Chain A
Amino acid sequence: MVSSPATARSFARQEGGAGLRDSVWGARELLVALVARNLRMRYQRSALGFLWVLLNPVLTTLIMVGVFRYVLHIPVDQYWGFLISGYFAWIFIVHSVTESAGTIREHSYMARTLAFPADVLVISTLMSRILEFVLEIILVASLLAVFRHGGVPAAFALLPLAVALLVGMALALAYPIAAASVFFKDVEFALPVGFTLLGYLSPVFYPLALVPEAWRDLYSLNPMVGLLGIFHAILYDGRVPPFSLFAISAVEVTILLVIGRQLFRWKRSLFAEIV
């Protein structure tokens, strides 16, 4: 008996038609429609929606600056500047991955009744978060330009590249986690624990320089270290990060993205039956 769902002898092919079934590119109009739906649901339907979107990170930042600066005395000049340089990038990873990981379960009716690449659900959810993140980064960059750098450092021009790497990282994580959560109900419970752990093992609340020298190589195996390093260098230091930092992060993101996407595609054809 054949154990794999797709063997050499079995295939389903659509010739002609819109190409919706075959690739994310073929389903791009659906992708756009889903992003439009997500944005409408989040912002247009509630007048207060956008206010909360901004208020929440602002309040969290104030609390954390208070705790880490005045209670724990982290020895960093202008700690608020350091914190907001990396915090929003980290929160983007947490929120976008958590949301897109649950998206196939959430829209199970689509997977069960329509033929389209499930990638579209993950990518559209992620894309709907990018707008918010870009606005936050603009706000952060403005604050730092005015109150820390007294001008706009040339390094800020590299922010789009940094954001692109971060989005790639979010997608690399979202792909396999989304696939796993189709099969395992408790992924959504494991995820917050995992992110809390990873958050404390990344230079979000403290700088890399405070990590003991002996541990730093091991610590830096976490790809978030490099990514956050890029954000800190550009936003907080206002200087161009070393090229090696970009190169290493780009390689890490690419490798994780390829692996994550393969894992997703390996199980993708079963989603409609399982979810």
Chain B
Amino acid sequence: MSSDVPRIECVGVTKRFYHYEHRTTTLQEFVFRQLAGKPLHVRTPTFHLEGFDLTVRTGESVALVGANGSGKSTALRLIAGIYPPTTGSIVTRGRLVAVIELGTTFQPELTGIENVELYAAALGMRRREVQASLSSILDFAGVDEFAEVPLKYYSSGMRSRLAFSIALGSDPEILLLDEVLAVGDVSFRAKCYDRLAAYAANGGTMVVVSHDMDSLPMLCTRAVWLEGGRSRLDGSVDAVVQAYLQSVTSSS
């Protein structure tokens, strides 16, 4: 794909959620409220994203930074296609893999291999591709000897490593990472950074949400600072991280 075609294009994206004072969550109440002519919900809208624009080109690695509630994770889920936008348009081009919560899709009763097959299928890998990269995935996660062991006997570190390894092994063209970089021990983390650097060097596109300001410059070249659901600053990772940290320290 030519590098001037954006991999990710968000234009005027708004995402509305609700604060519920009252929420109808049972069929029984639904019926009673309908009969009594009462509204089903009493709620006020809150906007997690408001007029959010983002264009990411092939080979770019973009960090999303900002305070809790600034809309980073919401933005990532919208780009991933998990939530629909309330208004605005989102177009992604190419195989997209989003790692939102590490290992939550794993099944404790199934073995390592069976979980690899399931999670890889959920990320959009074909069966042939999974079989071809199975050993490299297990090897990268360092769980080769536990391949046939049910996942409930894995340590949490092993589970996270396996999940991360599958996501990286699924050969994405766009990789979205949400707060998942604090994985495993020091040596595994170093392996991950190497792998992500190689991915980026080979033209991979990446959007990373992280609070770890020290490591972001190692992964990303560009950063977007989100505040109140909008991008406040978009520029080189060093400049944006510095500006963001300055505003945090000056306001506290």
Q: Which residues of A contact B80 (CB under 8 A)?
A: 115
Contact B92 A14, beta carbon cutoff 8 Å:
yes
Kindly list 6 other residue pairs between chains A and B, CB separation below 8 angstroms, not including A113-B98, A273-B83: A16-B95, A18-B124, A20-B123, A36-B118, A116-B122, A187-B27
Report the count of interface residues on B (CB-CB < 8 A).
47
Q: Which residues of A contact B221 (CB under 8 A)?
A: none
CB contact under 8 A between A12 and B90, given known A113-B104, A114-B123, A184-B26: yes
Q: Are B118 and A13 in contact, CB atoms less than 8 angstroms apart?
A: no
Interface size on A, residues (CB 8 A): 45
Is B81's CB under 8 angstroms from A12's CB?
yes
Cα distance A184–B40 when bound, in Å? 12
Contact B118 A33 (CB under 8 A): yes
Cα-based distance from A174 to B173 in the complex (angstroms): 36
Residue in A1, A41, A45, A269 whose beta carbon sits within 8 Å of that of B84 in the complex: A269
Q: Answer whether residue A7 sits at the interface, using C-beta atoms and an 8 A cutoff.
A: yes
Across the A-B interface, give the 7 residue pairs with the lowest CB-CB distance, nearest first: A18-B124, A115-B81, A33-B121, A113-B100, A20-B124, A12-B90, A184-B27
- B45 at the binding interface (Cβ < 8 Å): yes
- A5-B86, A13-B90, A17-B95 in contact; A113/B101 too (CB < 8 A)? yes
Contact present for A183 and B83 (CB under 8 Å): no
Q: Does A216 contact B (CB under 8 A)?
A: no
> Is B105's CB under 8 angstroms from A114's CB?
yes
A33/B93 in contact, CB under 8 A: no
A-B contact pairs, 30 of them (CB 8 A): A1-B45, A7-B87, A10-B85, A10-B86, A10-B89, A12-B78, A12-B81, A14-B91, A15-B91, A15-B92, A15-B94, A16-B1, A16-B173, A17-B124, A21-B81, A29-B127, A30-B121, A30-B124, A33-B121, A33-B122, A40-B114, A110-B122, A113-B98, A114-B98, A115-B81, A183-B25, A184-B27, A184-B30, A190-B27, A272-B77
A185 at the A/B interface (Cβ < 8 Å)?
yes
A50 to B106, CA, bound (A): 24
Digitize A181-199: 1 where CB-to-B-CB distance is under 8 Å, 0 elsewhere. Answer: 0011111001000000000
Q: Are A12 and B45 in contact (CB under 8 A)?
A: no
Task: Contact check, B87 vs A2: say whether CB atoms are below 8 A apart.
Answer: yes
In this complex, what residue of B is CB-closest to A19? B124
Give CA–CA (A32, B130) in the complex, Å: 13
Cα of A238 to Cα of B101 in the assembled complex, Å: 55
A109 to B103, CA, bound (A): 10
Residues of B within 8 Å of A1, CB to CB, are: 45
The B40-91 residues at the A interface (CB cut-off 8 A) are 45, 77-78, 80-91
The listed residue with most A CB atoms (<10 A of its CB), out of B14, B30, B87, B100, is B87
B17 and A273 contact, CB distance less than 8 A: yes
A188 smallest CB distance to B (angstroms): 10
A116: B residues at CB distance < 8 A: 122
* Cβ of A134 under 8 Å from chain B: no
- Contact partners of A20 in chain B: CB under 8 A: 123-124
Contact B26 A112 (CB under 8 A): no
Q: A12-B78, A112-B100 are in contact. Are A30 and B122 (CB under 8 A)?
A: yes
Q: Is A159 an interface residue (CB 8 A)?
A: no
Whether A184 pairs with B95 at a CB distance below 8 angstroms is no
Please judge, given known A-B contacts A14-B92, A185-B26, whether A6 and B84 are in contact too, CB under 8 Å: yes
The residue of chain B having its C-beta at the shortest distance from the C-beta of A12 within the complex is: B90
Name A's B-contacting residues (CB within 8 A).
Answer: 1-2, 5-7, 9-18, 20-21, 29-30, 32-34, 36-37, 40-41, 45, 109-110, 112-116, 180, 183-187, 190, 269-270, 272-273
List residues of chain B with CB within 8 A of the CB of A190. Answer: 27
CA distance A32 to B95 in the complex (A): 20
B110 contacts A41, C-beta separation under 8 Å: yes
Residues A34 and B87 in contact in the complex (CB < 8 Å), given A14-B92, A17-B96, A113-B82: no
- A40–B107 CA distance with the chains assembled, in angstroms: 11
Contact with A along B103-132 (1 / 0, CB 8 A): 011010110001001100111111100000
A212 vs B95: C-alpha distance in the bound complex, in angstroms? 62
Name the CB-closest residue of A to B88. A10
* A114 in contact with B82 (CB, 8 Å): yes
Residue in chain A with minimal CB distance to B150: A45
In the complex, what residues of B have CB within 8 A of residue A114's CB? 82, 98, 100, 105, 122-123
List of B residues within 8 angstroms of A32 by Cβ: 121, 127
Question: Nearest CB to that of A4 among chain B residues?
Answer: B86
For B92, list chain A residues within 8 Å (CB): 13-15, 17
